[in-house]
Amino acid sequence: MGAIEIKENVYWVGAIDWDIRDFHGYSTKKGTTYNAYLVKDEKIALFDTVKKENYSELLHNIHQVTDPAKIDYIIVNHVEMDHSGSLPKIIDLCKPEKIFCSKMGKKALLEHFHREDWPLVEVNSGDSISLGKKTVNFLETRMLHWPDSMFSYIPEDKLLISSDAFGQHWATSERFNDEVYEPELMSHAAKYYANILLIFSPIVQKLLASVQEMGLEIDMIAPDHGLIWRKSPEKIIAAYDGWSRQETRDKAVIVFDTMWKSTEKMANAICQGLISEGISVIMMNTHVNHRSDVISEILDAKAIILGSPTLNNGILPMMADIVTYMKGLRPRGRIGAAFGSYGWSGEAVKHLNAALEEMKIELVDEEGIRVRNVPDHDALKLCVELGKKIGKAIKG
């Protein structure tokens, strides 16, 4: 795909990665994009680069707009290697006058590339530079999602170049949100938020408040991954507001692993109880659901219910993987419960309860349900009753 003009003299020159399927533990079933942007003005500025392996595509796209050697400024909104991997080659090629980055960005660039000779210029929130007819204003967004992260805003175009915020991991031939099926787009955006930014929700809330206080007029958001929000960018801003408030609905996610189907039978019975209370339920067997898809479903779920048989006085490895991943992302304001089968010792439910409490998830049943070997009808009835109890708690 070639360069695309997204605003007058502002071009997308990034790269599409159709084949990537894992992004540090996040399942990218439909690939991703590495978005870079180039502004042609009295000064030519390049905003971020792409992954090292995609350098040739970036270079080809820049060539369609200008001679890369004519680039005057490089603006590094984010140092993570999917956006800075091509930076050394681009710098050696164009020899820019200045490379603008945040204070933490300068530190990260030196730690990543060890190039003291680069013309790095630190900028802070509220600083701006002139490109000629266009201005670039900077807004630091520390820990969204790295310490170096920042936004670049071009007021003349009402364009927010938003780094990793508002992005999606989705490779498409289209570049704008109004060119694709909106429900699928929002699903990718939600998954992106759940797996990358959920832990930073309090920071997202502060950032949204700052943007509102600054009175930024935004009619386009250009993130570093996925589609550009050309139409109604306020929709994704509103979605981020809700997600960062950790708003939930009457929904439960049952995440379980099973050895000889006993724990699975218990999960089905709990599901039955929840449904009888009018609760929407998602059943997620760890053998067929990736950790990042589990977290995506948890994003708007009020209840998280975990189940595992006991193995070696603990829980099954795939459940341990999910629990570890979930702890890192810190879902808040949820209720939960644990269940599981066992052969002789039965510690799994205790471990799952402890994990839920560590995540500050309120236990609906402090003991949970343990069943020795295969559940009979009485045991399954107890599971149904637990589902009903959770359902009533969800509805308040």
Do 225 and 360 share a domain, yes or no? no
> Chain-wide mean pLDDT for the chain?
97
At 299, the pLDDT band (50, 70, 90 cuts) reads: very high
> Is 293 one of the annotated active-site residues of the chain?
no
User: What pLDDT shows up at residue 211?
Assistant: 86
Mean pLDDT, residues 213-231: 96
Of 244, 274, 300, the last residue of a domain is 244
Do 166 and 54 share a domain, yes or no? yes
Do 147 and 262 share a domain, yes or no? no
Q: Express each pLDDT in 281-293 by its tens digit.
A: 999 999 999 999 9
Q: Is the pLDDT of residue 214 over 90?
A: no
Mean pLDDT, residues 350-376: 97
> Is 241 one of the annotated active-site residues of the chain?
no
> Is 174 one of the annotated active-site residues of the chain?
no
User: What pLDDT shows up at residue 313?
Assistant: 95
Residue 124 CA to residue 138 CA, distance in Å, equals 7
Of 211, 244, 277, the last residue of a domain is 244
What backbone torsions phi and psi does residue 164 show, to the nearest 5 degrees?
-80, -10
CA distances from 105 to 102, 120, 146 (A): 5, 9, 9
What backbone torsions phi and psi does residue 167 show, to the nearest 5 degrees?
-95, 180
At 213, the pLDDT band (50, 70, 90 cuts) reads: confident
Do 302 and 155 share a domain, yes or no? no
User: What pLDDT shows up at residue 294?
Assistant: 98
Six-digit token string for 163: 């780094």
Whether this prediction's pTM lies above 0.85 is answered by yes
User: What pLDDT shows up at residue 1?
Assistant: 76
Residue 171 CA to residue 184 CA, distance in Å, equals 12
How many domains are there within the chain? 2
Do 240 and 256 share a domain, yes or no? no
Mean pLDDT, residues 377-381: 98
Q: Express each pLDDT in 88-125 by its tens digit.
A: 999 999 999 999 999 999 999 999 999 999 999 999 99
Do 192 and 257 share a domain, yes or no? no
> Is 111 one of the annotated active-site residues of the chain?
no
Secondary structure string (H, E, C) spanning 22-61: EECCEECCCCEEECCEEECCCCCEEECCCCHHHHHHHHHH
Mean pLDDT, residues 47-52: 98
Do 58 and 121 share a domain, yes or no? yes
> Is 34 one of the annotated active-site residues of the chain?
no
> Is 169 one of the annotated active-site residues of the chain?
no
Query: Can you give the CATH number for the domain in which 356 is found?
Result: 3.40.50.360
Do 338 and 206 share a domain, yes or no? no
Do 89 and 215 share a domain, yes or no? yes
Count of beta carbons in the 10 Å neighbourhood of residue 97: 12
Choice among 148, 164, 257, 297 that is catalytic: 164
Of 199, 216, 244, the last residue of a domain is 244
User: What pLDDT shows up at residue 281?
Assistant: 98
Q: Express each pLDDT in 319-335 by its tens digit.
A: 999 999 999 999 999 99
Mean pLDDT, residues 358-366: 97
> Is 378 one of the annotated active-site residues of the chain?
no
Choice among 83, 188, 225, 351 that is catalytic: 225
Task: State which residues form the domain around 114.
Answer: 4-244
Do 216 and 296 share a domain, yes or no? no
Choice among 19, 24, 111, 213 that is catalytic: 24
Query: Can you give the CATH number for the domain in which 166 is found?
Result: 3.60.15.10
User: What pLDDT shows up at residue 24?
Assistant: 87
> Is 83 one of the annotated active-site residues of the chain?
no
Do 145 and 283 share a domain, yes or no? no
Q: Express each pLDDT in 226-237 by its tens digit.
A: 999 999 999 999
User: What pLDDT shows up at residue 260?
Assistant: 95
User: What pLDDT shows up at residue 382?
Assistant: 98
Q: Express each pLDDT in 24-48 by its tens digit.
A: 889 999 999 999 999 999 999 999 9
Choice among 145, 188, 290, 351 that is catalytic: 145
Over the range 8-28, which residues count as b (16 or more CB within 10 Å of their CB) and which as e?
ebbbbbbbbbeebeebeebbb
Do 165 and 292 share a domain, yes or no? no
User: What pLDDT shows up at residue 278?
Assistant: 98
